Amino acid sequence: MDRLTENKIVLITRRTRLNELIARFNTLEQARFYIEHLGADFADYQAEDEGYRAAVRTTERVLGRLARVQALERTFVPNFIFGPRDTVVVLGQDGLVANVLKYLDGQVLIGVNPDPARIEGVLVPFLPADLDTLVPAVFAERRPIRRVTMAEARLNTGETLYGVNDLFIGPRSHTSARYRIGIGGREESQSSSGIIVSTGLGSTGWLRSILTGAQAINSALTKRRRPPPPQSFAWDADYLYFSVREPWPSRTSAAEIAFGQVTATAPLIVESQMPEGGVIFSDGIESDFVRFNAGACATIRVADKQGRLVT
């Protein structure tokens, strides 16, 4: 077969809801019984699964004509070693793109929408049928590439975690986080529900939710008209924003450092005071975490590496 290149395309796929149900209940029929017993429509799960498998087959067929293809299920991504010249194709929702992007280091990523009827797809703007012409253009460097700033949490334990949308620093369960926070020469001990650090890409998500809620509370207390929701900031911005969730002022904890910008000259420093249960996780995926217990200190900053999305 005459391919355009011998460089590798890594195709990232995911398990469907039906796959997850079968893994949980062992068989298709047991999964069906569970869903229908609750009065839900099992046919919807099957239709989604069939549509996704059809999209996988189409994508593999198209990509196979263009280059060597290695299919990889999303759970294996954290331990996979991507080649420096690999092209990565993600078939799934926006969240899958974010989850994969943080494990890349300079490789370009193409987001493909397997089901436009179900997925809006800001980060997956292409369809499997587009790949025939899109991938050759990417190989020839004729497609624009959008750069995405990432957040980095570097711990004194030697561990590093990246976030494409955001980082969460706090308790693993619904308890209070205890830590010491510092930025720009200011520091204080705090007790809160945790800290959110957002990138430009993630600024329309968790951060916007927090700011919208804060504005609504302020409006109700001051009887002033509620301002419009905060706008997002650029995906490639050279800064991040942090917000402390529900800070609790007490004799041993303050709440003056509650919101601000993280820059190259003003990183966010957080030292854990939690004997156990402290974590830092990224992009809303609680299973993708590093432990953040007493003695651990995290420096939060803009990562040196950036994501590269094909547009």
172-222 pLDDT, tens digit each: 888 899 999 999 999 999 999 999 999 999 998 889 888 888 888 888 888
Instruction: Please check whether residue 75 lies inside any domain of the structure.
Output: yes
Instruction: Please check whether residue 1 lies inside any domain of the structure.
Output: no
Instruction: Please check whether residue 229 lies inside any domain of the structure.
Output: yes
Amino acid at 265: T
Q: Do 118 and 45 form a contact (C-beta atoms < 8 A)?
A: no
Q: Which of 104, 173, 117 is nearest to 145 (CA)?
A: 104
Instruction: Please check whether residue 310 lies inside any domain of the structure.
Output: no
Give me the phi and psi of 169, to 5 degrees please: -125, 115
CATH number of the domain where residue 223 is located: 2.60.200.30
Domain residues for the domain of 94 are 8-143
Strands 145-155 and 297-310: antiparallel
Q: Look at residues 87, 115, 143 and tell me which one is the last residue of a structural domain.
A: 143
Q: Look at residues 93, 121, 143 and tell me which one is the last residue of a structural domain.
A: 143
pLDDT attached to residue 62: 96
Q: Does 155 share its domain with 183?
A: yes
Q: Does 133 share its domain with 196?
A: no
pLDDT attached to residue 2: 55
Enter the tokens of residue 217.
């509370």
Q: Does 57 share its domain with 168?
A: no
pLDDT attached to residue 3: 59
Q: Does 139 share its domain with 155?
A: no
**What are the angstrom distances between the C-alpha of 144 and each of 89, 108, 137, 205, 303?**
16, 11, 10, 25, 22
Q: Do 188 and 252 form a contact (C-beta atoms < 8 A)?
A: no
What pLDDT digit, counting tens, does each position of 209-259 carry?
Answer: 888 888 888 888 888 776 666 678 999 999 999 999 999 999 999 999 999
Sign of the four-CA dihedral 277, 283, 289, 294:
negative
DSSP for 103-131, please give it: T-SS-EEEEE-S-TTT---SS--B-GGGH
Q: Does 80 share its domain with 112?
A: yes
Enter the tokens of residue 26.
């062992």
pLDDT attached to residue 4: 57
Q: How far apart are CA 256 and CA 218, in angstroms?
A: 17
Q: Look at residues 118, 143, 168 and tell me which one is the last residue of a structural domain.
A: 143
Given a cut of 70, the residues of the chain with pLDDT beneath it are 1-6, 226-230
Enter the tokens of residue 152.
């980095």
Q: Does 44 share its domain with 101?
A: yes
Sign of the four-CA dihedral 55, 69, 305, 293:
positive
Instruction: Please check whether residue 2 lies inside any domain of the structure.
Output: no
Which residue is associated with the tokens 């893994």? 23
Q: Does 246 share its domain with 103?
A: no
- Give the count of domains, the chain: 2
Q: Does 181 share its domain with 263?
A: yes
Instruction: Please check whether residue 60 lies inside any domain of the structure.
Output: yes
CATH number of the domain where residue 103 is located: 3.40.50
Instruction: Please check whether residue 308 lies inside any domain of the structure.
Output: no
Q: Does 54 share its domain with 88?
A: yes
The length of the chain in residues reads 311
Give CB contacts under 8 A, 24+ apart, made by 20-27.
Answer: 21/45
Instruction: Please check whether residue 66 lies inside any domain of the structure.
Output: yes
- When computed from its CA atoms, the radius of gyration of the chain, rounded to whole angstroms, is 22
Q: Does 121 share its domain with 163?
A: no
Q: Which of 48, 51, 1 is nearest to 21 (CA)?
A: 48
Q: What's 138's DSSP letter?
A: H
Q: Does 161 share its domain with 130?
A: no
Tell the burial category of 271 from Cβ atoms under 10 Å away from its Cβ (0-12, 13-18, 19+).
middle
Q: Does 108 share its domain with 205?
A: no
